[in-house]
């Protein structure tokens, strides 16, 4: 059923974009009811407005906490036009009917991001707003509801084209959006209060939907929910794809582990090149040399400013995305010569506290893997040297970000071979050695990191055969003594960390 908008209740926090709606409603002859700041805004436009206080007989009280929580307001929203008893009550209690409700919500989420002042945060928990939105959405058979300024433009267009009339289909669509808005709002508030409590349910709500070209594959529709502009300033290139975003996340996570100058190259969430160094050019050269073949079409990231020297070298490679905290102007000008090349200036480091994934008909939730080791237990033939220790620390962090089963081979603070996503640990080591050999690296004096314990001593034996001098792993196998004995008999330094780093 079509519904002519003859009366509208408007009470919003954000006034931008509201003026065209108010003017169109006035043009169509609708009576406008409002409160506080919204009423003042409408009156500055020279448009008549009925204060809600005239309906309720009460002013705004308790510092603005109570303005619209009144039977005459909610009666006017919830009254069913075709129900005789409802209409008797409307007449008896002189309740004005509302055909349109435009209400947004106090900016709770934004306030939490901007302050730790709990009093300010609590005051941004909206009570009347969600109640009016839910009431109008429930009664969408008779009432249209607009719950976000994102819908203002569409509403103006409909009111203009349809001369103040909205169809049931349109009202139902706005109602669905309204319930979504309120649900998100409640989840955000619940998350704020549950942060120190054990959760009995898992809830997450993310707004800002961004439709992607497709998902992981072209036949899969995909979307991203979140605010990328809180983390990055996009300087150039096409829209980020689903797979780009997955790799950008992996890139940001691994680089966040390091304070020293670092450069990393990511392919399919695994790091295929990474190095520490003294400058951005030095780290790029070392990272690329680790696996120049896999670097093609990768996601590149550094924690250093991109200057012209390194930009000229990077420009020789085809890559999807480059992430850095800053770009010198001449370097940026050069890199922007390829219009599809995505350049992201990282403005904020993000280290998630929690991870989750859909599993079967539910979800798995865990704390993020932020613990690197709980002990440094030298178990081999000798203590690791200072140089070995630095390389072992680096290798352990790199291996942590490879898909299991994973092995990382490092020399001179550079990844020179890696095996990842293998079904056995010995296969991961074979793959890592093969990669190192492919690009001509001498493994003598290199170190090895494993994401989990060695179930047998075969990995220690294979590592020794190619010249690896030190190993870091969690330990914890019932056969640890076999590996310890082999390392002691063959001069290999062996460190147990006590922390496993499975990644699936």
pLDDT band with cut points at 50, 70 and 90 for residue 208: confident
Q: Are 229 and 210 in contact (CB under 8 A)?
A: no
Across the range 336-362, mean pLDDT stands at: 92
Whether residue 198 has pLDDT greater than 70: no
Report the pLDDT value the prediction gives residue 31, as an integer from 0 to 100. Answer: 93
219 is catalytic: no
The C-alpha atoms of residue 185 and residue 8 are separated, in whole angstroms, by 24
The C-alpha atoms of residue 406 and residue 250 are separated, in whole angstroms, by 16
Name the one residue in this structure whose structure tokens are 């280290």. 351
Whether residue 44 has pLDDT greater than 80: yes
* Average pLDDT of the chain to the nearest whole number: 92
pLDDT band with cut points at 50, 70 and 90 for residue 173: very high
If one compares 1 and 467, the residue with the highest pLDDT of the two is 467
Name the one residue in this structure whose structure tokens are 């990077």. 314
pLDDT one-digit tens code per residue, 135-152: 999 999 999 999 998 899
Name the catalytic one among 268, 285, 338, 403.
Answer: 268
The answer to whether the pTM exceeds 0.85 is no
The C-alpha atoms of residue 277 and residue 260 are separated, in whole angstroms, by 8
pLDDT one-digit tens code per residue, 213-249: 999 999 999 999 999 999 999 999 999 999 999 999 9
In Å, how far from its chain's centre is CA 270? Answer: 19
Percent of the chain's residues with pLDDT above 90: 74
Whether residue 196 has pLDDT greater than 70: no
The C-alpha atoms of residue 284 and residue 281 are separated, in whole angstroms, by 5
Report the pLDDT value the prediction gives residue 215, as an integer from 0 to 100. Answer: 95
Dihedral of CA atoms 477, 481, 484, 486 in degrees, nearest 10, equals -120
DSSP β-ladder status, 470-473 and 447-450: parallel
* Max Cα distance, the chain (Å): 97
The C-alpha atoms of residue 268 and residue 246 are separated, in whole angstroms, by 8
Name the catalytic one among 138, 149, 336, 488.
Answer: 138
Percent of the chain's residues with pLDDT above 70: 99
Report the pLDDT value the prediction gives residue 199, as an integer from 0 to 100. Answer: 67
pLDDT one-digit tens code per residue, 240-266: 999 999 999 999 999 999 999 999 999
Across the range 319-340, mean pLDDT stands at: 96
DSSP 66: B
Minimal CA–CA distance to 400: which of 228, 274, 213, 280? Answer: 274
Least confident of 105-119, 189-203, 304-318: 189-203
Helix or strand run (H / E) with residue 59: none
pLDDT one-digit tens code per residue, 455-481: 999 999 999 999 999 999 999 999 999
Dihedral of CA atoms 437, 438, 440, 445 in degrees, nearest 10, equals -30
Question: CA angle 476-478-480, nearest 5°?
Answer: 65
Q: Are 314 and 337 in contact (CB under 8 A)?
A: no
138 is catalytic: yes
């Amino acid at each position: 059923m079509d519904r002519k908008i003859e009366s509208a209740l408007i009470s919003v926090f954000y006034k931008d974009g509201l003026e065209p709606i108010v003017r169109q409603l006035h043009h169509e002859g609708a009576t406008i009811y409002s409160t506080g700041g919204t009423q003042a805004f409408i009156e500055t436009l020279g448009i008549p407005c009925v204060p809600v206080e005239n309906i309720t007989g009460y002013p705004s009280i308790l510092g603005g906490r109570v303005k619209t929580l009144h039977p005459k307001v909610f009666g006017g929203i919830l009254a069913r036009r075709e129900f005789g008893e409802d209409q008797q009550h409307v007449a008896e209690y002189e309740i004005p009917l509302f055909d349109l409700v435009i209400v947004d919500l106090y900016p709770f989420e934004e306030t939490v991001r901007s302050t730790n002042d709990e009093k300010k945060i609590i005051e941004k928990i909206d009570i009347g707003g969600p109640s009016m939105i839910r009431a109008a959405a429930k009664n969408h058979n008779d009432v249209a509801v607009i719950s976000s300024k994102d819908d203002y433009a569409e509403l103006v267009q409909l009111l203009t084209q349809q001369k103040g009339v909205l169809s049931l289909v349109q009202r139902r669509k706005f109602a669905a959006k309204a319930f979504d808005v309120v649900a998100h709002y409640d989840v955000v508030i619940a998350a704020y209060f549950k942060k120190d409590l054990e959760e009995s349910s898992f809830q997450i709500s993310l707004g800002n939907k961004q439709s992607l070209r497709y998902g992981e594959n072209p036949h899969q529709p995909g979307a991203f929910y979140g605010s990328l502009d809180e983390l990055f300033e996009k300087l150039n290139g096409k829209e980020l794809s689903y797979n780009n975003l997955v790799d950008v996340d992996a890139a940001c996570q691994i680089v966040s582990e390091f304070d020293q100058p670092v450069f990393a190259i990511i392919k399919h969430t695994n790091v295929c090149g990474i190095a520490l160094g003294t400058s951005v050019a030095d780290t790029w050269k070392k990272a690329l040399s680790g696996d120049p073949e896999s670097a093609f079409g990768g996601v590149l990231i550094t924690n250093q400013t991109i200057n012209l020297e390194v930009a000229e070298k990077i420009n020789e490679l085809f890559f999807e995305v480059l992430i850095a905290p800053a770009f010198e102007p001449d370097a940026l000008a050069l890199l922007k010569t390829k219009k599809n090349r995505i350049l992201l200036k990282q403005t904020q480091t993000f280290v998630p506290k929690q991870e989750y994934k859909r599993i079967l008909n539910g979800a798995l939730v865990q704390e993020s893997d932020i613990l690197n080791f709980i002990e440094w237990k030298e178990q081999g033939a000798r203590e690791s040297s200072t140089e070995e220790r630095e390389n072992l620390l680096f290798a352990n962090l790199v291996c942590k970000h490879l898909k299991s089963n994973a092995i990382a081979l490092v020399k001179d603070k550079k990844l020179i071979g890696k095996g990842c996503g293998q079904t056995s640990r010995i296969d991961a080591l074979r793959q890592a050695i093969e990669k190192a050999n492919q690009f001509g690296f001498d493994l003598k004096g290199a170190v090895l990191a494993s994401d989990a314990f060695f179930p047998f001593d075969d990995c220690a034996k294979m590592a020794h055969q190619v010249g690896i001098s030190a190993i870091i792993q969690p330990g914890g196998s019932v056969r640890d003594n076999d590996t310890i004995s082999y390392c002691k008999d063959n001069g290999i330094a062996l460190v147990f960390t006590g922390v496993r780093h499975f990644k699936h």
